[in-house]
Chains A and B, each alone.
Chain A
Amino acid sequence: MLAAIEATRHGAGSVLLLDRSLIGRGGATVMAQMTVAAAVGPGDHWQYHLADTLAAGRGLCDPELAALLCRVGAECILEMDDWKVGWARQGNGFAQVQAPGHDRARCVYVDFLSTGPAVSRTLRTQLQRQGEGIRRLGEILVTDLVVQNGTVTGAVALNVATGQPITIAAPATIIATGGLTRLYARNSASANMSGDGYALAARAGARLIDMEFVQFFPIGHLAPRLIGMDPIMWDPFRYKLGGRLLNGAMQEFVERWGGDAEDGTYSTTRDLATYAITKEVEAGRGSPNGGAWLSFTHVPEATLRAAFGPVIDRLAANGIDLTRDCIEVSPIAHYHMGGIRVDPRMRTDLPGLLAAGEAVGGANGANRLSGNAITEALAFGRIAGAEAARIAALPAPAFNPAAAAPALALLSSTASMRNIAALVARLQHLMAQHVGPFRTAAGLNQASTALAALAAELGTAPPGTPGIPHDLNRQDWLDLRQMLLVAEAVIIGAIARTESRGAHQREDFPALSPAWERNLLLRLPAGATHLELA
């Protein structure tokens, strides 16, 4: 949304904002109940934020992209404040909490657990203020980009509400489709995050980077069943209240796996906490549902209420009383560090194609620092929007409908009815089983074989006939086509990287190797069906 706003502010006369869901209500941002890192406090500087971001990235961050995230991100956070997003206040400044991996209290938020919805709502309001310059269309699922002589000239999409295909001509296209968490059975983002953007870029011929680095959020909600809440909601609880992470025997255990004693604080980074919980469960010391306990029972009720007010009532409706009950947590797919390779102006390898937000790879290296995702979404959106406006003002090739014909033919094709939802579920389970935070050559090769079987079952055309409104089974087919390519990218990267670093942990190569302090790039050669290392 910010990319569209920024493009308009830089003179783009005609901006089309497409979303496969409703504008501003899908994706990851609206789900984020947590905090946003930005060097906007007294005495802080974006270069301190950068130092923390680079350290968390374990040597793999693209330093230019990371610097833009920290510098432009801070400007965006201040602009969001001008736009009345409602960052929580303390005294004359912002209330800021210290998240793991940061050298100081740097993370702003909107109470209570409303950061993401507030950011989405604020951007929607600003979008509408741009007036006629931005045309917003929801329920448009882009399935392929249109490429003419190596330049992206537009896209082919499914109009979900009618089931009919459409084509779009554009001198500049920005992919801002988020990450790939839907590849995993347990994930913390919305159903939209199928990695579509990575697949679109790769099919068009752009390179992907760091695809093996999937971030698992260590303390995703596991049990009891909790509805109407984001599964990563325990993160802000830990920022404000500390809390204690305990094994099945109610003992602290992070130290056993290389962490420092937390003593009721929240200081263990995400990769280490994920490792500690997984290993503790493997050692037979997990909680009843296969995770760890998180306890706030030592926190007085008045303190809980002061910190989270209405959320305490929503928990009560779910039968959870934190003064009495511990909850169970376990790692959950949360974010993807990898993505489309871009330059500092958010340009991909292909003229006419840019990327923004989580779809961009490289800024966060092997492990993303808490709070950097919304900062990145805003910073890269702003840069990409300005650059797209500049590109759109230059002479561009005329859109050639013939170049869109194969992608249109796919959307118009018919095939026998099959249950694609079940195939998606199979992919999610095999990714969770073999391509989670801990990997082995044997497991990755098994995943690779299973992926080939799924591809064979997928076939070459979506089930049923075109033109049916809100046809989820056909949509699942189009999604699974993209998800299989993206899963392949993660697996190829994970097999190739024979070391352990950040979010990529190889049990058969447990050490970090200095020789691997480099990025892996992937590309889909023209006419090929499988990705290769570039």
Chain B
Amino acid sequence: MPSTRLHIRRGGPGEAPRHDVFDLSFEPGESILDALRRLRISADPTLAFRYACLNANACKECMMLLDGKVIYACTARLEARDMRLDPLPNKPLLRDLATAIAPPDERLD
């Protein structure tokens, strides 16, 4: 099985940015969302990211940055290399990779 090294941005608004590093092996074809969900079970249940539809690319919630480019975590595949994940830069940060993406009139702040 190939393995990947994920550098994941952690913390909330106002905290000094840091990237935690996670190494994990994967089956070819698996997505970044597959890896994040697995990490919550095996390594760190506090890791925050958004998703609802489980890899169907229907809910469009799992947008984030991979190496600086906007992707859907559910359709971006894992690769056997260092991969850096960051939250969307143009949305208010909630925590880790999760940002406030709901339309403003559908939020209770």
Which of A's residues lie within 8 Å of B, judged by CB?
A: 21-23, 25-26, 30-31, 116-117, 136-140, 159, 161-162, 166, 187, 189-192, 224-231, 318-319, 417-422, 425, 464, 468-473, 476
List residues of chain B with CB within 8 A of the CB of A21: 52, 59, 61
Cα A472 to Cα B46 with chains together (Å): 6
The distance from the CB of A207 to the nearest CB of chain B, in whole angstroms, is 29
Query: Do A22 and B52 touch (CB < 8 A)?
Result: yes
Query: Do A419 and B27 touch (CB < 8 A)?
Result: no
Point out the residue from B27, B51, B77, B106 that lies within 8 Å of A23, measured CB to CB.
Answer: B106
Cα A187 to Cα B55 with chains together (Å): 12
Partner-binding segment picked from B2-10, B16-24, B95-103:
B95-103
Please, which residue of chain A has its CB at the minimum distance from the CB of B30?
A225
Tally of chain B residues near chain A (CB < 8 A): 43
List residues of chain B with CB within 8 A of the CB of A137: 106-108
Query: Do A162 and B95 touch (CB < 8 A)?
Result: no
Query: Do B48 and A26 touch (CB < 8 A)?
Result: no
Query: Do A161 and B94 touch (CB < 8 A)?
Result: yes
Point out the residue from A192, A227, A425, A472 that lies within 8 Å of B47, measured CB to CB.
Answer: A472
Q: In the A-B complex, list the 7 residue pairs whose CB atoms are closest, starting with the nearest.
A: A225-B29, A228-B75, A228-B57, A469-B94, A470-B98, A26-B52, A421-B40
List residues of chain A with CB within 8 A of the CB of B101: 22
B84 within 8 A of A: no
Please, which residue of chain B has its CB at the minimum distance from the CB of A226?
B29
Which parts of B64-109 form the interface with A (CB within 8 Å)?
Answer: 72, 74-75, 77, 94-96, 98, 100-102, 105-109
Cα A166 to Cα B108 with chains together (Å): 10
26 contacts between A and B (CB under 8 A): A21-B52, A22-B102, A25-B58, A30-B59, A31-B56, A31-B58, A138-B107, A139-B102, A139-B107, A161-B107, A187-B54, A190-B53, A225-B27, A225-B30, A227-B29, A227-B30, A228-B56, A228-B75, A421-B41, A422-B41, A422-B45, A469-B12, A470-B48, A472-B45, A473-B45, A476-B45
Please, which residue of chain A has its CB at the minimum distance from the CB of B56?
A230
Given A228-B72, A471-B48, 8 new contacts (CB under 8 A): A21-B59, A22-B101, A30-B58, A227-B34, A227-B74, A421-B45, A469-B98, A472-B48
The distance from the CB of B101 to the nearest CB of chain A, in whole angstroms, is 7
Point out the residue from B12, B41, B61, B109 that lies within 8 Å of A419, measured CB to CB.
Answer: B41
Point out the residue from A189, A319, A419 that lies within 8 Å of B29, measured CB to CB.
Answer: A319
List residues of chain A with CB within 8 A of the CB of B77: 227
Query: Do B59 and A473 touch (CB < 8 A)?
Result: no
Cα A189 to Cα B56 with chains together (Å): 9
The distance from the CB of B51 to the nearest CB of chain A, in whole angstroms, is 6
Please, which residue of chain B has its CB at the minimum distance from the CB of A317?
B75
List residues of chain B with CB within 8 A of the CB of A470: 48, 50, 94-96, 98
Query: Do A191 and B108 touch (CB < 8 A)?
Result: no
Q: A421-B41, A472-B45, A472-B47 are in contact. Are A229 and B56 (CB under 8 A)?
A: yes
Cα A116 to Cα B58 with chains together (Å): 9
Q: A228-B57, A468-B95 are in contact. Are A138 and B40 (CB under 8 A)?
A: no
| Residue among A22, A117, A187, A189 with the highest chain B CB neighbour number at 10 A | A22
Query: Do B75 and A227 touch (CB < 8 A)?
Result: yes
Please, which residue of chain A has its CB at the minimum distance from the CB of B32?
A227
Cα A425 to Cα B40 with chains together (Å): 10
Query: Do B109 and A161 touch (CB < 8 A)?
Result: yes
List residues of chain A with CB within 8 A of the CB of B31: 227-228
Query: Do A30 and B53 touch (CB < 8 A)?
Result: yes
The distance from the CB of B72 to the nearest CB of chain A, in whole angstroms, is 8
Please, which residue of chain A has its CB at the minimum distance from the CB of B33?
A227
Query: Do A191 and B54 touch (CB < 8 A)?
Result: yes
Query: Do A190 and B106 touch (CB < 8 A)?
Result: no
Q: A22-B106, A166-B108, A470-B94 are in contact. Are A228 and B55 (CB under 8 A)?
A: yes
List residues of chain A with CB within 8 A of the CB of B56: 31, 190, 228-231
The distance from the CB of B85 to the nearest CB of chain A, in whole angstroms, is 15
Query: Do B58 and A136 touch (CB < 8 A)?
Result: no
Query: Do B105 and A136 touch (CB < 8 A)?
Result: yes
Cα A191 to Cα B74 with chains together (Å): 13
Cα A192 to Cα B40 with chains together (Å): 17
Please, which residue of chain B has its CB at the minimum distance from the CB of A22?
B102
Cα A159 to Cα B94 with chains together (Å): 12
List residues of chain A with CB within 8 A of the CB of B60: 25
List residues of chain A with CB within 8 A of the CB of B75: 227-228
The distance from the CB of A418 to the nearest CB of chain B, in whole angstroms, is 8
The distance from the CB of A189 to the nearest CB of chain B, in whole angstroms, is 8
Query: Do B102 and A138 touch (CB < 8 A)?
Result: yes
The distance from the CB of A119 to the nearest CB of chain B, in whole angstroms, is 12
Q: A22-B52, A319-B29, A470-B95 are in contact. Are A230 and B107 (CB under 8 A)?
A: no
List residues of chain B with CB within 8 A of the CB of A464: 46
Point out the residue from A159, A187, A191, A476 that lies within 8 Å of B52, measured CB to CB.
Answer: A191
List residues of chain A with CB within 8 A of the CB of B72: 228
List residues of chain B with CB within 8 A of the CB of A229: 55-57
Cα A319 to Cα B60 with chains together (Å): 23
Q: A136-B105, A139-B107 are in contact. Are A22 and B41 (CB under 8 A)?
A: no
List residues of chain A with CB within 8 A of the CB of B102: 22-23, 138-139, 161
List residues of chain B with CB within 8 A of the CB of A189: 54
Cα A162 to Cα B61 with chains together (Å): 18
Q: A30-B53, A422-B41, A472-B48 are in contact. Are A162 and B109 (CB under 8 A)?
A: yes
The distance from the CB of B34 to the nearest CB of chain A, in whole angstroms, is 8
List residues of chain B with CB within 8 A of the CB of A230: 56, 58
Cα A192 to Cα B94 with chains together (Å): 20
Please, which residue of chain A has its CB at the minimum distance from the CB of B59?
A25
Please, which residue of chain B has its CB at the minimum distance from the CB of A114?
B58
The distance from the CB of B44 to the nearest CB of chain A, in whole angstroms, is 8
Cα A21 to Cα B98 with chains together (Å): 13
List residues of chain B with CB within 8 A of the CB of A421: 40-41, 45
